[in-house]
Amino acid sequence: MFVEHGLKRVTVDDLVGAAGFTRGAFYSNFSSIDEVFFEVFQRGATQMLEAARVAIAEVPEEEFTLASIGDVLDSIRRYGRSWFIIQAEFTLLALRDDRARAVLAEHTRRLRAELVEVIADVLRRLGRAPVVSTEQLAEMVVALHLHSLGQLHLGESTLGEDGLSEQVVSALVLGFSHEA
């Protein structure tokens, strides 16, 4: 519902109708539509990170190469358009609302910490060390990923037909790391 209609155009009736619940069930679990939206954001981010972790773990350490990054990208590709819209909605809300800004900041801190772990694992498997902090590398990856999703779904992508390509991420990894 949030992807189709936007955060501020979704009603409680829309949400309970789509979920097959009653208004009473809604209010016994949530106090506002924003609270549901925050939960949707958190669950989506958690699912994406888990999909990336699984994709990394499925490649034996001794076989992990730059090409393996393509498997990781493939694992999160299905979240593309929906994730971009949800993330953009949250960012816009946070720019206008102090409470949402605090919630987004907390989500961002938690997600960044998890992404740092994922990136550190990838670098370790590749036998590489970052030339900038892993936190900065995580920030660059997120920024590039979100930009590529936006451009892809606007029909303006120069990063490949799937948005953020294995080639671009591999170049980013090589450019911002060195052999360990």
pLDDT (0 to 100) of residue 124: 93
pLDDT (0 to 100) of residue 165: 64
User: DSSP state, 78?
Assistant: T
pLDDT (0 to 100) of residue 136: 93
pLDDT (0 to 100) of residue 164: 62
Query: Is residue 161 situated within a structural domain?
Result: yes
Do 33 and 11 form a contact (C-beta atoms < 8 A)? yes
pLDDT (0 to 100) of residue 142: 83
Extract the residue ranges of the chain whose pLDDT is less than 50.
none
pLDDT (0 to 100) of residue 176: 94
Q: In percent, how much of the chain has pLDDT > 70?
A: 96
- State the residue for tokens 């670098």: 123
Query: Is residue 118 situated within a structural domain?
Result: yes
Distance separating alpha carbons of residues 178 and 180, to the nearest angstrom = 6
Could you tell me which of 127, 111, 99 has the C-alpha nearest to residue 37? 99
Query: Is residue 87 situated within a structural domain?
Result: yes
* pTM for this prediction: 0.83
SS (H, E, C) 12-65: HHHHHHHHCCCHHHHHHHCCCHHHHHHHHHHHHHHHHHHHHHHHHHCCCHHHCC
pLDDT (0 to 100) of residue 151: 83
pLDDT (0 to 100) of residue 162: 59
At position 159, the amino acid (one-letter code) is: L
Query: Is residue 140 situated within a structural domain?
Result: yes
Q: CATH number for the domain including 80?
A: 1.10.357.10
Query: Is residue 155 situated within a structural domain?
Result: yes
- Count of domains forming the chain: 1
Residue range(s) defining the domain that contains residue 166: 32-179
pLDDT digits (tens, 9 = 90+) for 28-73: 999 999 999 999 999 999 999 999 999 999 999 999 988 888 888 8
